[in-house]
């Protein structure tokens, strides 16, 4: 399981194994402040990061950070 | 800033031929008050009823509550920005009818059908298990029953209910304008012994950027996105902090509670004795990104440090984990800046009290005060009288829910459908203990 959330600290406390840093609470995989192309790139990177996390062995709560700059 | 709070305690209330106060007895001219309210074309129906502590009365469709107050001297008026101009309040003299509340029991056709922006209501029982869970069962309540006209927007619904409620409250308090108060309290943060510990109160307010009203307003302006704001405690006593009058279910804070805030009053009481009360930081919380949460924690703790605080009391005001995170991170940031923190909050430990009480915690949050668990189901008895709906009618607690009959015994899951529960500010006597 990989859990995409902006509240990574909370996910760690609750013992989620694979945690992927998301963009915002009501919009974990997107950002309405970006243009459609920027939003698509952001979404792809976050989901791609989650897919990589799923293929990674972990031994406890581990945070995976997508290679993006969260603008807002 | 010096505010004289002139207290006119109410021991008895009844409807009569004029609105007058004398020796603890409040007479209320019903038609005169209703006329004030019916002038508003957005109100299709209005009525008034009285509910007394201990009687088996259930008030339904509860949305907000307010204490009758009026400004008799000094700048501005009560509820600035709402029923008067925006002027910094908290000075001069304010008259209050203590032991009473005006409860807005209102209904209208919603346009938002789900989510945090939808309207909702709560039940207020004047007796039994329900009464133990709200400070508003101990007051003599004048219930303002409203049905709004068709086609009002959500914002208009809020504004209409709130304006009607506040106008009635101020008119009641007007009855004391020329009278000598039985009791006068002077609220002033005088300079004190510099050796006393300097203490702040930091209130982590739920505010929602995407709803018609963000749920908490300063001087009538709903706070949607802001950094912490420093306020004098006297501003609270004059109604500078108000709430969304569409949303009355349990976890809401009502205007009455801001005006009678137990921690602000308690800190005032100890000012110059055990501590030096510096004032109140009003902190917007529920930032939707981790960056926002870190920034509010950094800015709030920095404000506390710049104000010279050595200690701070924290509260929050929703069961949301989102609000909790912001407050917890601020507790952490204050402790790291050398400011001792105490966090007063209800807990969420499940119906039997065995589940983890907090969704999130920082290791620095070692000073915690529990005000009870809000997740226990509560059984409330059958009432003799229901105020707010016609005989036999049902009520809707959350928009979209099936109608509930308030006329019989009820088991309320989590109890949060009770007006004033859980206890965010410590106005009741519940706590949680490990054993």
| Predicted confidence (pLDDT) per residue in B140-171, tens digit | 999 999 999 999 999 999 999 999 999 999 99
Residue B395 CB burial class (10 angstroms; 0-12, 13-18, ≥19)? buried
Angle, to 10 degrees, between the axis of helix B154-174 and the axis of helix B30-38? 150
Q: For chain B, what is the mean pLDDT?
A: 95
What pLDDT sits at residue A56? 98
Which pLDDT tens digit goes with each residue over B313-368? 999 988 878 899 999 999 999 999 999 999 999 988 888 878 888 889 999 999 99
Query: Do residues B179 and B291 make contact, with C-beta atoms less than 8 angstroms apart?
Result: no
Q: Do B290 and A13 touch (CB under 8 A)?
A: no
* Secondary structure of residue A52 in the 3-state scheme: helix
Question: Mind spelling out the 3-state secondary structure of chain B?
Answer: CEEEEEECCCCEEEECCCCEEECCEEEECHHHHHHHHHCCCCEEEEEEEEECCCCCEEEEEEEEEECCEEEEECCCCCCECCCECCCCCCCEEEEECCCEEEEEEEECCCCCCCCCCCCECEEEECCHHHHCCCHHHCCEEEEEEEEECCCCCHHHHHHHHHHHHHHHHHHHHHCCCCCCCCEEEEEECCCCCCCCCEEEEEEEEECCCCCCCCCEEECCEECCCCCCEEECHHHHHCCCEEECCCECCCCCCCHHHHHCCHHHHHHHHHECCCEEEEEEEEEEECCCCHHHHHHHHHHHHHHHHHCCCCEEEEECCCCCHHHHHHHHHHHHHHHHCCCEEEEEEEECCCCCCCCCCCCCCCCCCCCEEEEEECCCCEEECCCCEEECCCCCCCECCECCCCCECCCCCEEEHHHCCECCCCCCCCCCCCCCCCC
Interface mutation vs chain B, best among A4, A5, A10, most B CBs within 10 Å: A10
Of B226, B208, B240, B366, the C-alpha closest to B299 is B226
B288 vs A10, A21, A25: nearest CB: A25
Residue A35 CB burial class (10 angstroms; 0-12, 13-18, ≥19)? exposed
What pLDDT sits at residue B278? 98
Strand B241-243, strand B216-218: pairing: antiparallel
Give me the residues of B, 154-213, that contact A with CB < 8 A: 210
Which strand (E) or helix (H) includes residue A4?
A: strand A2-5
Which pLDDT tens digit goes with each residue over B182-221? 999 999 999 999 999 999 999 999 888 778 999 999 999 9
C-alpha distance from residue B214 to each of B46, B151, B285, B418, B434 (Å): 26, 21, 11, 21, 36
Which pLDDT tens digit goes with each residue over B8-47? 999 999 999 999 999 999 999 999 999 999 999 999 999 9
* CB atoms closer than 10 angstroms to residue B185: 15
Which strand (E) or helix (H) includes residue A14?
A: none
| Mean pLDDT of the B253-258 span | 96
CA dihedral B331, B334, B339, B345 (to 10 degrees): -20
H-only helix segments in A1-72: 8-13, 36-54
Distance from CA of A18 to the nearest CA of B (A): 18
pTM: 0.94
* Residue A55 per-residue DSSP state: T
Question: Cis bond leading into B224, ω under 30°?
Answer: no
Q: For chain A, what is the mean pLDDT?
A: 94
User: Does residue B295 belong to the interface with chain A, where contact is any CB pair within 8 Å?
Assistant: no
Residue A24: list chain B partners with CB under 8 A: 288-289
Distance from CA of B326 to the nearest CA of A (A): 11
User: Does residue B360 belong to the interface with chain A, where contact is any CB pair within 8 Å?
Assistant: yes
- Percentage of chain B beyond pLDDT 70 is 99
Interface mutation vs chain A, best among B115, B116, B287, B290, most A CBs within 10 Å: B290
Q: Do B290 and A6 touch (CB under 8 A)?
A: yes
Going by pLDDT thresholds of 50, 70 and 90, the confidence category of residue B374 is confident
The pLDDT of residue B272 is above 90? yes
Which pLDDT tens digit goes with each residue over B394-431? 999 988 888 999 999 999 887 778 999 999 999 998 88
**Phi, psi angles (nearest 5°) of residue B373:** -105, 135
- Percentage of chain A beyond pLDDT 90 is 89
| Mean pLDDT of the A14-18 span | 95
Phi-psi region of B286 (alpha: psi -120 to 50; beta: other; left: phi over 0): left
What ipTM was assigned to the predicted interfaces of this complex? 0.86
Whole-angstrom Cα distance, residue B40 to residue B44? 9
Token pair recorded at residue B189: 């943060």
* Residue A56 per-residue DSSP state: S
Q: Which residue of A has its CA nearest to B208?
A: A26
Of B241, B250, B254, the C-alpha closest to B120 is B250
């Amino acid at each position: 399981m990989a859990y995409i959330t902006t509240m990574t600290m909370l996910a760690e406390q609750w013992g989620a194994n694979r945690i992927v840093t998301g963009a915002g609470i009501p919009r974990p995989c997107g950002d309405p402040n970006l243009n459609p192309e920027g939003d698509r790139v952001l979404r792809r990177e976050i989901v791609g990061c989650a897919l990589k996390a799923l293929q990674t062995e972990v031994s406890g709560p581990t945070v995976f950070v997508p290679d993006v700059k969260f603008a807002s | 800033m010096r505010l004289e709070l002139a207290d006119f305690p109410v021991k008895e209330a009844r409807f009569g031929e004029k609105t007058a106060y004398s020796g603890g007895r409040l007479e209320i001219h019903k038609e005169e008050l209703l006329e004030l309210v019916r002038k508003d074309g957005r109100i299709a129906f209005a009525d008034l009823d009285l509910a007394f502590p201990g009687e088996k009365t259930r008030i339904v469709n509860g949305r907000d509550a307010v204490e009758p107050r009026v400004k008799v001297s000094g700048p501005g008026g009560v509820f600035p920005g709402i029923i008067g101009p925006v002027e910094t309040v908290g000075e001069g003299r304010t008259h209050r009818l203590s032991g009473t509340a005006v409860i807005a029991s209102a209904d209208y056709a919603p346009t938002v059908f789900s989510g945090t922006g939808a309207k909702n209501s709560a039940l207020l029982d004047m007796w039994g298990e329900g009464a133990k869970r709200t400070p508003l069962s101990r007051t003599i309540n004048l219930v303002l029953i409203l049905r709004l006209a068709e086609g009002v927007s959500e914002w208009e619904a809020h504004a209409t209910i709130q304006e009607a409620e506040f106008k009635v409250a101020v008119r009641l308090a007007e009855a004391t304008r020329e009278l000598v108060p039985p009791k006068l309290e002077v609220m002033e943060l005088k300079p004190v012994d510099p050796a006393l510990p300097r203490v702040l109160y930091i209130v982590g307010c739920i505010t929602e950027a995407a709803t018609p009203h963000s749920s908490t307003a300063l001087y009538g302006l709903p706070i949607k996105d802001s950094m912490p704001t420093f306020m004098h405690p006297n501003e609270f006593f004059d109604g500078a902090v108000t709430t969304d009058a569409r949303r009355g279910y349990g976890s809401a804070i009502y205007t009455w509670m801001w005006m009678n805030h137990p921690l602000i009053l308690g800190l005032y009481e100890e000012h110059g004795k055990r501590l030096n009360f510096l004032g109140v930081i009003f902190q917007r919380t529920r930032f939707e990104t981790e960056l926002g949460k870190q920034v509010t924690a950094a800015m709030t703790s920095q404000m506390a440090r710049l104000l010279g605080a050595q200690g701070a009391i924290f509260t929050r005001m929703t069961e949301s984990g989102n609000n909790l995170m912001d407050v917890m991170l601020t507790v952490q940031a204050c402790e790291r800046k050398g400011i001792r923190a105490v966090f007063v909050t209800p807990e969420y430990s499940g119906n039997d009290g065995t589940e983890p009480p907090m969704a999130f915690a920082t290791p620095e949050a070692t000073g915690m005060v529990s005000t009870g668990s809000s997740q226990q189901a509560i059984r409330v008895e059958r009432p003799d009288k229901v105020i707010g709906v016609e005989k036999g009618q049902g009520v809707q607690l959350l928009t979209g829910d099936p109608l509930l009959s308030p006329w019989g015994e009820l088991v309320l899951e989590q109890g949060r459908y009770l007006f004033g529960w859980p206890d965010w500010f410590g106005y009741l006597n519940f706590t949680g203990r490990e054993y």
